[in-house]
Amino acid sequence: MSTKKRVAATVNGDAAEFLCEPRQSLLEVLREVLSLTGTKEGCNDGNCGACSVIVDGTLVNSCCMLGVEIDGCEVETVEGLARNGKLHPLQKTYLEETGMQCGFCTPGFLMSSKALLDAHPDPSERQIRHWLSGNLCRCTGYDKIVRAVQKAARMLEAER
Amino acid sequence: MNKPEKLPHFRVVGTNPIRPDGLDKVTGRAVYGDDFKIAGMLHGKVLRSPHAHARIKSIDTRRAAKLPGVRAIITGADFPKPSVAMVPMGEGGYVDMNDTADNVIAKGKAFYDGHVIAAVAADNPHIAEEAVALIDVKYEVLPPVMDVRSAMAPGAAVLHETFNPGAFFMKTHKVLPNASRLELGAGDVARGFKEADVIVEREFTTETVHQGYIESHICTAQWDERGQVTIWTTTQGAFAIRDQVAIVCAVPMSHVRVVPLEIGGGFGGKDTAYIEPLAAMLAKKADRPVKVVMSRAESLRATGPSSGTFIRAKMGAKKDGTLVAADLSFAYEAGGFPGGPIAAGVLTSITRYNIPNVRLEGFDVLVNKPKVKPYRAPGATQSNFAVEQVMNQLAEKLGMDPVEFRIRNAMKTGDRLILGFPCPPVGGVEMLEAVKKHPHYKAPLGKNQGRGVAFSFWFGAGLTSSAELSVNSDGTVQMCTGSCDLSGTRLTLAMQAAEALGIDVEDVSPTIGDTHSVGYTLQSVGSRTTFATGIAVYEAAQKVLKEMAGRAALLWETDPANVAVDRGDFTDMNNPAHRFTFRELADKLEHSGGPVSAQSTVTPERVGFQLAAHLVDIEVDTETGKVDILRYTAFQDAGKAVHPDFVAGQIQGGVVQGLGWALNEEFWYDAKGRLCNASLLDYRMPIALDVPMIDVVILETPNPGHPFGVRGVGEVPIVPPAAAVANAIYDAIGVRMDALPMKPGRVLQKIKEQKSAAA
Amino acid sequence: MATVWIPTPLQALTGGEATVRATGGTVKELVEDLDRSYPGFKEAIVGEGVLVRPGISVVVDGSVVKKGLLHPVGAESEVFFIPAIGGG
């Protein structure tokens, strides 16, 4: 058993200090150490995107990053999307446009969509499909997910 | 029950409200298999056979047992022989529990790469994994049998000395050491082909594919001192898991409580027990709760898949475009145990056309791959790939429009089906007419672009479902059903309750019961949840309304026969001043005999057929052989679309799975029968960039077997894409595709053959 | 008399006839009646007691009937025995 390391990070806007084993992935730390189980494991080898989170503004597969690597970083997960009881526009539009069926890949899609809209507030359909191409959804065929992102972009534009 | 011609004007059915479980799913709160935790929980890991076919000589667990933190180790020897052999799984289907038990954990012989040999429970997953590596197994490696043709060839290695071939009307139909056979027919095929002016005869192959749900198989088991085990799991059917665990682990059914958690996709692949009996046995031996999580590689190696096939198809038609004969032979992989989807595959192959002379033959073939499981319309995608290509070829030979040719032969309400009975109400001709009239059908195409059509059929299932409704004093209603929600069925069932009770859907709170809290309900399979569980909800609502009308009669001091109920309003037909809304009467239940609840368990007998027609435009890159999907329009008859956006979602999802099957997906096995692409990088499912928007046209020919006219919708959309794409490739570049997947190398090979034939 | 459609594999028993007429008030009685004319028919259809063999569904007048062999039939009924089909 390896020695645990002390890690200090900001998770969804709050300071988080925790101990983790060097072999633990960020995904395992989020789920098992910080009890943030909204981030999902679909493959554990970086190919499904169910574990997508945002670290210092960059979209990552949390299964492919170590927990110790987030020391000093800002991490955003699905649990941080809604603020003060108010849903993020993406959460609203995924519901309204039925951009999910089983819902398992949804947290990862929401984070990829957020990373996209943070970088490109008015994305083309092609851009949306490109940014979401690291996330597998086996239920929807992607159509309604793309529409949900398009609608959220319009909502965010109206809010600005 | 209402007849379709008297369908009510709907208030709730046909609208698109937001699903009540949606908030949990967009906020990360929803509890899926791995999100469930329990105090003192151990972690299980599984040792799997590295050989596709091997006799197990010995298993030595001593080194693993000595590793600190290991709490229990189990092998096949820890499991009893099932006391029940054949268990009904609904709709006349049976499962051989000896096979189920042997598939859960190998006893003496491993039948596929990934077959479970032993399992370990330890303090954490890492220790469990280390312990698994310390188990010594001695194998006698046997030659693997990896495809249907070699399995049926003389001299093939034999998987099972004896097996139960399934009773296709005979004591046994085991025709070959590794295969059993089914034959169905009508008329005289030889005479039919004599009458034919054009005949097309071809052979096809398809590869093994996986359901590919994004959440793997995960469960947690805990025993109590009374010998009762509780299992929290991600499944399509809690009762099916309960029954299988009870039989495989020899526990009374009443002592197995299965709690279904949220499920991250199933598509037929999560209708059966894999790890639940392992978790139960580990937990019993360790005397601690145990969670077992299958990795992605394990799930690809050892669960699902859908059958690879070899198909021979010969069909003939007269000059006027009338089909006269079909002689079709299908060999489906069963995997390591018998029971592939041959009856369904064979019957769906041509059910949608009237053909007087037919011979249908199916082989259920044992191969050293995981036991196949349903995958959305099991067996139909493969048979459709063959038949719909032959249909297009016949149309071409006849000089007919392919849609017109299908209209000419499409089965209509009342026509005799292959099995003899009359076709229930269908709208196949109307659907094909809609295809012809759609702008997509006539839109211009560019160079190396082509358009394909395919027409498809699926039966759907009825099966047993239960529901309970309980009226609260404020007029809201609790609804509990036994149907696991894969895609939003909590809402489609709540909508039907609201419609039947005459209240708002927001006033119905749906929950899914565990096996101790709700009546028997079979799996969410066969496109049956909104249809069959919907009928259970409807029947329970009728009981609630009848009881409430009685209460109104009591309060008004009149006979219950005088109380009229319409859309939630109760009125006294003899006194217009007597009037209660649902909410007003709910408030008075407590003092008129007590609160009202009602339960219903149904097994619907009239399942509406599912029909779909798909149109696809593709472009072939003739340098690389890559096929791009340019445009897709899916037509489907929903009977009555309860939630049209969800229906469209089912169709779009099925289409894209079908496109994956058509273009990319296949299991690659090496010469030793080991799966080489057990990751989501190499098992290449469609991503967002691979597909365009999927346009959907919903038609509604009501199903008289449901009070609102509902048909199942979930399965048939996966059936047409492979055939439609194959037809489109021919339209684009003039090559006939005879194998799935139609990957770039295969298309390029066809282009090369075409060039050398021309030269 | 009800009409019974004979599954292809059993048409060997009926001399190739695809439909035959039989007398009885239930599917079971029809099967027993047919077994007198075509010995072996009952054994092919009936499993344990009053149950059909595993893998077979009984269809009466277009509906898959849950009572199976015990389902009542009328003089004009049409009875079919079909392979069982599941789903995903």
DSSP secondary structure of B672-708? TS-BS--STTTS----GGG---EEEEEE----TTSTT
C84 closest CB neighbour out of B92, B271, B422:
B92
CB A31 within 8 A of CB A69: no
Per-residue model confidence as pLDDT tens digits over B434-486? 999 999 999 999 999 999 999 999 988 889 999 999 999 999 999 999 999 99
Predicted confidence (pLDDT) at residue B2 exceeds the cutoff of 60: no
Size of interface A-B (CB pairs under 8 A): 178
Residues 78-107 on B with a CB inside 8 Å of A are none
Domains detected in chain C: 2-83 (3.10.20.30)
Q: Do B92 and C62 touch (CB under 8 A)?
A: no
Size of interface B-C (CB pairs under 8 A): 134
- pLDDT band for B8, please (50, 70, 90 cuts): low
Q: What is the DSSP letter of B32?
A: B
CA pair distance A71, B450, nearest whole angstrom = 54
Per-residue model confidence as pLDDT tens digits over B142-174? 999 999 999 999 999 999 998 876 545 544 456
Q: Does the predicted interface ipTM exceed a cut of 0.85?
A: yes
Q: Which of B304-313, B713-722, C60-69 has the lowest mean pLDDT?
A: C60-69
B338 at interface of C, judged by CB pairs closer than 8 A? no
Q: Do B183 and C80 touch (CB under 8 A)?
A: no
Q: Which residues of A touch B213 (CB under 8 A)?
A: 102, 104, 138
Over residues A77-91, mean pLDDT: 96
Going from the C-alpha of B267 to that of each of A12, B50, B256, the distances in angstroms are 34, 27, 25
Per-residue model confidence as pLDDT tens digits over B177-215? 999 888 888 999 999 999 999 999 999 999 999 999 999
User: According to CATH, what is the number of the domain A89-159?
Assistant: 1.10.150.120
- pLDDT band for A43, please (50, 70, 90 cuts): very high
Predicted confidence (pLDDT) at residue A98 exceeds the cutoff of 70: yes
Q: Do B296 and A44 touch (CB under 8 A)?
A: yes
**Which residues, other chains included, contact B194 with Cβ-Cβ below 8 Å and sequence gap of 6+?**
none
C86 closest CB neighbour out of B93, B186, B422:
B93
Continuous segment of H or E residues that includes residue B96 = strand B94-96
- Taking only Cα atoms into account, the Rg of chain B, rounded to an integer number of angstroms, comes to 27
Instruction: Please determine whether the domains at B4-30+462-602 and B379-460+607-758 fall in the same fold group of CATH.
Output: yes
CA angle B83, B86, B91 (to 5 degrees): 145
Residues 16-75 on A with a CB inside 8 Å of B are 23, 31, 36-45, 47-48, 50
Q: What is the DSSP letter of B51?
A: S
Q: Which residues of C touch B267 (CB under 8 A)?
A: 88
Per-residue model confidence as pLDDT tens digits over C18-42? 899 999 999 999 999 999 999 999 9
CA pair distance B568, B586, nearest whole angstrom = 11
Q: Among candidates B427, B330, B332, B313, which has minimal Cα distance to B697?
A: B427
Q: Do B86 and C86 touch (CB under 8 A)?
A: no
CATH superfamily of A5-80: Beta-grasp domain (3.10.20.30)
Instruction: Tell me the backbone φ, ψ of residue B238, rounded to 5 degrees.
Output: -65, -40
Q: Do A40 and B30 touch (CB under 8 A)?
A: no
Per-residue model confidence as pLDDT tens digits over B17-64? 999 999 999 999 999 999 999 999 999 999 999 999 999 999 999 999
Q: Among candidates B388, B220, B250, B240, which has minimal Cα distance to B311?
A: B388
Most distant CA atoms of chain A, gap in Å: 53
Decide which of B83 and A95 is more confident: A95
Beta strands in C10-51 (DSSP E): 19-22
Q: Do B34 and A41 touch (CB under 8 A)?
A: yes
CA pair distance B398, B322, nearest whole angstrom = 10
Q: Which residues of C touch B527 (CB under 8 A)?
A: 87
Q: Where are the domains of chain B?
A: 4-30+462-602, 379-460+607-758
Q: Is B336 helix (H, G, I), strand (E, B) or coil?
A: coil
Predicted confidence (pLDDT) at residue C51 exceeds the cutoff of 90: no
Over residues B621-643, mean pLDDT: 98
Q: pLDDT over 90 for what percent of chain B? A: 91
Give the tokens for residue B433: 């007419």
Helix, strand, coil % (nearest 5) of chain C?
25, 30, 45
Over residues B663-692, mean pLDDT: 98
CB B488 within 8 A of CB B496: no
Q: Which chains, if any, share at least 3 CB pairs under 8 A with chain B?
A: A, C
Residues 243-272 on B with a CB inside 8 Å of C are 267-269, 271
CA pair distance A16, A67, nearest whole angstrom = 12
Q: Do B649 and A139 touch (CB under 8 A)?
A: yes
User: According to CATH, what is the number of the domain B4-30+462-602?
Assistant: 3.30.365.10
Q: Do A141 and B653 touch (CB under 8 A)?
A: yes
Query: Whole-model pTM?
Result: 0.96
Residues pairing with B620 in the sheet: B627
Write the secondary structure of B446-499 as one string of H (helix), E (strand) and C (coil).
CCCEEEEEEEEEECCCCCCEEEEEEECCCCCEEEEECCCCCCCHHHHHHHHHHH
CA pair distance B390, B388, nearest whole angstrom = 5
B658 at interface of C, judged by CB pairs closer than 8 A? no
Q: Where are the domains of chain A?
A: 5-80, 89-159
Residue with tokens 């709208």: B427
C88 closest CB neighbour out of B91, B183, B376:
B376
Give the tokens for residue B120: 């370990």
Question: Is B379-460+607-758 assigned to CATH 3.10.20.30?
Answer: no
Q: What is the DSSP letter of A69?
A: G
Predicted confidence (pLDDT) at residue B5 exceeds the cutoff of 80: no
Minimal-distance CA residue of chain C relative to B376 = C88
